[in-house]
């Protein structure tokens, strides 16, 4: 049995007491255990602040970029081993595992590529300066410097590699040390990544710590210098927002929570067209990839009323080709959900959706996985529902079922489609599929205020479109309302969460020299 440890205060430490179990969701065998009991997390935070912070702040953006490049390469060198762990502990197919692990490698590399643009300097200018007085001398300029505390990252179970790396990339390039806490149930991949980075000594001491298991009093020990970036359910997010550090000491918090992402098919799109093909491909992938356990997965599918029947048929055809089972078997194209609790939530969630829609494909119980021991494993098939009279307030607009589950619904006008998408209460991403520029424009103007990202599918981009479920380092990831109100990534936009913006007033020449500009 593997007993996982935390990497704190520059060393690997195992907790005491009752350990949490990490399970293979295809076989229900325990693959590892972990505990954080008895670990001095206050000392871990102080070590990161006192050792990691100064070491990172002494480095220029260019040097921090080189560090990120080394991290990306170190993970890449162990890619196959990590894929194996993701199959065993996450129930990921090889493709799912690559999506997570290559996402980690790619995001670190993208932030490494950004570094030279920021310069061989320690200061980030925020836009151009402004003349403040009547003469040209008195000037104002905003600049960013790294916050002097520690960045605590609390991650969700579904992306153990990408979640760790995308947050670490932005924080470390900004110049803040990181304490990363993975979700316990799938921590094996994140644990191995930290082992690899520690063994390769690619980071200065204290720049990256790792708390493997329950967070104990970690969050209550944060203060006004620190930041907390959380990814997970809106229920946990609500608890963290009420935490004493956030409420009393103004620890800065960023929340990436759940989201009822939508896909909207334009009235102009006909069966057999490139855009219909793109739409069906995106929806089917988003339902099944990572067994639907993606915060960006499509949950709601809005289709012109007269096309509902055709779309349901096309999706049923795609979903019936999915082979559910233990992803250790090569033929399997969709693995189990990650934990017994996930399976319970998913079954309850589908029942809730049945209050406003009917299941037209799939089931959530009695599913035997290919290559799994009989009666074992947290398996479901993809589940498609159809709701014929969607209204704001329905379960489908209120409840996220975190699994391979989505609902097809009709709309009669662009205004109705906008109102239904908005009824989700704020989301990470919605995709609109149409070659009708007026329809696309109307939709964008109507739904953009409810989203962090919109994907516009059309015949012009059909061959090269990136899936809506893929968060990109160049673009903002996050969304308003129920999605948590946070923002991550988006190149330098993501870094500013880890930096203090300060307005300077003074002599133009002094200010411009500080931010590396010439008068
Ligand atoms: P979760 O149960 O909220 O857990 C998320 C993280 O919070 C885990 O690391 C968990 O640790 C930790 N946690 C739980 N209670 C805590 C507490 N009281 N204090 C401090 N930390 C605490 O969510 P999940 O089941 O892992 O993830 C699924 C959810 O995440 C879905 O709703 C999904 O939509 C959302 N998600 C959002 C995004 C995004 O970018 N917006 C991305 C991925 C997932 P333990 O595991 O140790 O309990």
The model's pLDDT over 135-187, given as tens digits with 9 standing for 90+, comes to 889 999 999 999 999 999 999 999 999 999 999 999 999 999 999 999 999 99
> For residue 459, what is the domain's CATH number?
3.40.309.10
- Contact predicate 203/176, CB 8 Å: no
As for how many domains the chain has, the answer is 2
DSSP state of 49: I
Q: For residue 15, which of 226, 181, 227, 196 has the smallest C-alpha distance?
A: 181
**Judgement on whether residues 168 and 122 belong to the same structural domain of the protein:** yes
CA distances in angstroms from 267 to 272, 441, 457, listed in the order given: 14, 14, 13
Mean pLDDT of the chain: 96
**Judgement on whether residues 343 and 234 belong to the same structural domain of the protein:** no
Ligand 1 geometric centre to CA of 293 (Å) = 12
Answer yes or no: is 352 within a domain: yes
CB within 8 Å of 513: residues ≥ 6 apart: none
Average the pLDDT over 465-486 and give the result.
94
Report residue 519 as tokens.
Answer: 């008068």
Is the shortest distance between the CB of 254 and ligand 1 below 6 Å? no
Is the shortest distance between the CB of 35 and ligand 1 below 6 Å? no
* Catalytic residue from among 166, 256, 286, 400: 256
pTM of the model: 0.95
How far apart (Å, rounded) are the C-alpha atoms in residues 233 and 242? 15
Answer yes or no: is 482 within a domain: no
**Judgement on whether residues 222 and 82 belong to the same structural domain of the protein:** yes
Taking the CA of residue 488 as reference, the ligand 1 atom at the shortest distance is 40
- Residue 519, pLDDT > 60, answer no
How far apart (Å, rounded) are the C-alpha atoms in residues 153 and 46? 16
**Judgement on whether residues 372 and 341 belong to the same structural domain of the protein:** yes
b/e sequence 290-313, b meaning 16+ C-beta within 10 Å: bbbbbbbbbbbbbbbeebbeebbe
Average the pLDDT over 59-65 and give the result.
97
**Judgement on whether residues 158 and 204 belong to the same structural domain of the protein:** yes
Taking the CA of residue 154 as reference, the ligand 1 atom at the shortest distance is 9
**Judgement on whether residues 445 and 352 belong to the same structural domain of the protein:** yes
More confident residue, 382 or 234: 382
Answer yes or no: is 326 within a domain: yes
The model's pLDDT over 412-471, given as tens digits with 9 standing for 90+, comes to 999 999 999 999 999 999 999 999 999 999 999 999 999 999 999 999 999 887 899 999
**Judgement on whether residues 214 and 294 belong to the same structural domain of the protein:** no
Ligand 1 geometric centre to CA of 436 (Å) = 39
Is the shortest distance between the CB of 236 and ligand 1 below 6 Å? yes
**Judgement on whether residues 279 and 407 belong to the same structural domain of the protein:** yes
Ligand 1 geometric centre to CA of 379 (Å) = 21
Supply the residue whose CA is at minimum distance from atom 20 of ligand 1.
215
**Judgement on whether residues 227 and 141 belong to the same structural domain of the protein:** yes
Q: How far is CA 322 from the centre of its chain?
A: 25
> For residue 189, what is the domain's CATH number?
3.40.605.10
**Judgement on whether residues 18 and 44 belong to the same structural domain of the protein:** yes
- Residue 222, pLDDT > 90, answer yes
Ligand 1 geometric centre to CA of 189 (Å) = 16
The most distant pair of C-alpha atoms in the chain lies apart, rounded to whole Å, by 82
Domain span at residue 49? 2-257+487-514
Answer yes or no: is 481 within a domain: no
Sign of CA dihedral 326, 327, 333, 335: positive
How sure is the predictor about 351, in pLDDT bands with cuts at 50, 70 and 90? very high
**Judgement on whether residues 253 and 268 belong to the same structural domain of the protein:** no
**Judgement on whether residues 207 and 334 belong to the same structural domain of the protein:** no
How far apart (Å, rounded) are the C-alpha atoms in residues 397 and 470? 22
What's the pLDDT at 518?
60
- Residue 516, pLDDT > 90, answer no
Tell which phi-psi region holds residue 225, choosing left (phi > 0), alpha (psi between -120 and 50) or beta.
alpha
The model's pLDDT over 111-124, given as tens digits with 9 standing for 90+, comes to 999 999 999 999 99
Q: Candidates 183, 190, 289, 477: which one to mutate for ligand 1, based on the most atoms within 8 Å of Cβ? A: 183
Answer yes or no: is 478 within a domain: no
Where does 110-155 show beta strands of DSSP type E?
124-131, 138-146, 151-154
Ligand 1 geometric centre to CA of 296 (Å) = 15
Answer yes or no: is 165 within a domain: yes
- Residue 93, pLDDT > 60, answer yes
Q: Specify whether 488 is catalytic.
A: no
Answer yes or no: is 477 within a domain: no
How far apart (Å, rounded) are the C-alpha atoms in residues 219 and 84? 32
How far apart (Å, rounded) are the C-alpha atoms in residues 332 and 382? 13
Answer yes or no: is 223 within a domain: yes
Is the shortest distance between the CB of 480 and ligand 1 below 6 Å? no
Supply the residue whose CA is at minimum distance from atom 16 of ligand 1.
236
């Amino acid at each position: 049995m593997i007993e996982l440890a935390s990497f704190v205060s520059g060393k690997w430490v195992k907790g005491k007491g009752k350990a949490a179990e990490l399970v293979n969701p295809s076989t229900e065998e325990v693959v590892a255990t972990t505990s954080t009991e008895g670990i001095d997390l206050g000392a871990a935070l102080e070590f990161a602040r006192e050792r990691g912070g100064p070491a990172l702040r002494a480095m220029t953006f260019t040097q921090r970029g080189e560090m990120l490049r080394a991290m990306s390469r170190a993970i890449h060198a162990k890619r196959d081993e990590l894929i194996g762990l993701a199959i065993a502990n996450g129930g990921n197919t090889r493709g799912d595992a690559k999506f997570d692990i290559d996402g980690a490698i790619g995001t670190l590399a993208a932030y490494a590529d950004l570094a030279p643009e920021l310069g061989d300097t320690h200061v980030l200018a925020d836009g151009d300066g402004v003349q403040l007085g009547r003469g040209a001398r008195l000037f104002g300029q905003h600049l960013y410097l790294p916050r002097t505390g520690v960045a605590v990252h609390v991650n969700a179970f579904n992306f153990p590699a990408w979640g760790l790396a995308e947050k670490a990339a932005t924080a470390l390039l900004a110049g803040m040390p990181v304490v990363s806490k993975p979700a316990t149930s799938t921590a094996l991949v994140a644990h191995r990544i930290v082992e690899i980075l520690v063994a390769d000594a690619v980071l200065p001491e204290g720049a990256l710590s790792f708390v493997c298991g329950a967070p104990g009093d970690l969050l209550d020990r944060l203060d006004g210098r620190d930041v907390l970036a959380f990814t997970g359910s809106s229920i946990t997010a609500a608890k963290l927002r009420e935490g004493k550090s956030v409420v009393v000491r103004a620890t800065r918090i960023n929340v990436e929570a759940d989201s009822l992402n939508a896909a909207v098919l334009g009235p102009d799109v006909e069966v057999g067209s490139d855009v219909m093909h793109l739409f069906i491909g995106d929806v089917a992938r988003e339902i099944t990839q990572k067994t639907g356990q993606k915060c960006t997965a499509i949950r709601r599918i809005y289709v012109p009323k007269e096309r509902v029947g055709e779309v349901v048929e096309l999706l049923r055809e795609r979903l019936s080709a999915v082979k559910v089972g233990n992803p250790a078997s090569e033929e399997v194209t969709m693995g189990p959900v990650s934990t017994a609790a996930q399976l319970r939530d998913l079954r309850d969630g589908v029942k809730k959706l049945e209050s406003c829609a009917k299941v037209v494909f799939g089931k959530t119980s009695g599913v035997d996985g290919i290559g799994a021991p009989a009666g074992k494993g947290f398996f479901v098939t993809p589940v498609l529902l159809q709701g014929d009279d969607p209204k704001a307030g329905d379960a489908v607009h209120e409840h996220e079922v975190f699994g391979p589950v989505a609902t097809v619904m009709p709309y009669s006008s662009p205004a109705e489609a906008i109102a239904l998408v908005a009824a989700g209460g704020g989301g990470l991403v919605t995709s609109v599929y149409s070659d009708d520029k007026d329809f696309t424009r109307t939709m964008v103007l109507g739904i953009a205020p409810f989203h962090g990202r919109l994907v516009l599918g059309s015949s012009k981009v059909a061959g090269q479109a990136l899936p809506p479920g893929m968060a990109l380092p160049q673009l903002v990831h996050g969304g308003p309302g129920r999605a948590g109100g946070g923002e991550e990534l988006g190149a330098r936009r993501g870094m500013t969460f880890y930096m203090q913006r300060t307005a300077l007033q003074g002599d133009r020449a002094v200010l411009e020299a500080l931010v590396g500009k010439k008068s």
